[in-house]
Amino acid sequence: MLDSEAVVLAGHGSRREKSNEQVRELAAGLEGRLGLPANAGFIELAEPSIAEAIGSLVPAVSDVTVVPLSLFAASHVKADVPLVLNEARAEHDVGIHGGRHLGVHPSIVELLDDRAAAVEERLGVDRAEDDVLIVLCARGSSDPDSNGDVHKLARLLYEGRGFLDANAAFIGVTEPLLEDALHTVSKRRPDAVVVLPYMLGDGVLTDRIRERTAEFDEEYPYAVAGCGDPLGTDDRLLDVLADRFEEARTGDVSMSCDTCKYKVEMDGFEDDAGGARAMLRAMTHRATHADRSSVDEETDTHDAPEKHVSVCTNRTCAAQGAATVLERLRQAVDERDIDARITRSSCLDRCGEGPNVAVYPDSVWYGSVQPDDADRLADAVAEDRIVSDLVDQTL
């Protein structure tokens, strides 16, 4: 008998298998919570992919809902996962639904409060009697929405809970960085500083947060400081995931488009506005992880090539010879030893003008590219110039 519905829990993926097992554990917990089949799938770095996880479920169900196991809505949630879902809808004759990221949720605030209380107990302080200050430290993103939600979550953690204050900080990418935030809050002369890693798993970044906290504790003797544990696989995360599933199935998924850098032009992010950029970013991101002999230092480091060339191989472009263009470009790049990756892309929405080729970070799209143009394009990529007679548009 067919199950009517199933769930895919979409994790980021890591070279650390321990982190991937955490996603699988939460998927199993979600299956028990919802009473529906649930598989884990990964955006990158681990198997199965989200597409493979969906494919393993569709023979026996009528609907699959994909819920991102992401703390905030940055490019993975806004670009990568929707791209996979659109491809799955085209491939499978079942309902494919997309859920929302974990985001700001009362259960997460409660969980963070418990993590803070555990650190207070370890330090021998009590917020009811001592001045306890919270620093909530997240990974950091180039997406304003994501970073803004860290500040909102820190404020919600502060409200009504007796802390001296609660501040947001980041371990990388954006500011304030954790070490700077700690030096700033020291001016308040708190009795204790509790640093909470706002991350799902325990890995390289959480280790750095612990190190920064220990350095602060040694440098400022008038305030004790301690670092909490990441969120882990606490059952309260299942509460949030179940809510996100229900939202997706009732058509009540809402994203913050008013402050989405892909939707509106924001100061400092003008070059990111536009759906085509988000789509190209999602496609090119798939190729940015390189194998490493050691995963302990930078588990998610991106080794992006200097150039990325996407060749549309969708139906119309394929009929116009895109596959041959793709192979000729790969040969030309290999012969010249150019630091570039040549990959297939889905439709670039320029049907009838192909084969279409997009070159990034140059943001140049070429149209009506023929196999004999491969050498010219490869030379242009190597020399940071364009092939003017082939340019279709620039973004």
Is there a single domain that holds both residue 194 and residue 113? yes
Q: How many CB atoms lie within 10 A of CB 45?
A: 17
pLDDT lower than 50: segments of the chain: 1-2, 291-295
Whether residues 133 and 96 share a domain: the answer is no
- Are both 67 and 156 inside the same structural domain? no
* Whether 93 and 242 share a structural domain: yes
The per-residue pLDDT for 200 is: 94
Residue 343 lies in a domain: yes
Residue 269 within a domain? no
Kindly list the distances between the CA atom of residue 106 and the CA atoms of 10, 11, 116, 153, 231, in Å, as whole numbers in the listed order.
Answer: 22, 21, 15, 10, 14
Specify the number of domains making up the chain: 3
Percent of residues, the chain, with pLDDT higher than 70 = 86
Residue 247 belongs to a domain: yes
186 & 209 share domain:
yes
> Do 87 and 178 reside in the same domain of the chain?
no
Residues 73, 41 share a domain: yes
Task: Give residue 30's region: left, alpha or beta (phi > 0; psi -120 to 50).
Answer: alpha
Q: Does 372 share its domain with 351?
A: yes
Which domain CATH number covers 374? 3.40.30.10
pLDDT on residue 293: 47
Same domain, 44 and 186: no
Query: Is 174 in the same domain as 197?
Result: yes
338 and 351 together in one domain: yes
Residue 268 lies in a domain: no
Q: Could you read off the pLDDT of 14-71 as tens digits, one per residue?
A: 888 898 999 999 999 999 999 999 999 999 889 999 999 999 999 999 999 999 999 9
CA distance 233 to 235: 6
Q: Is residue 211 part of a domain?
A: yes
Please provide the average confidence, as pLDDT, over all residues in the chain.
88
CATH number at residue 94: 3.40.50.1400
Q: For residue 42, what are the domain limits?
A: 5-103+235-253
Let me know whether 114 and 179 are in one domain. yes
Residue 289 lies in a domain: no
Q: Would 90 be classed as within a structural domain?
A: yes
Q: Which residue has the tokens 């799955």?
A: 88
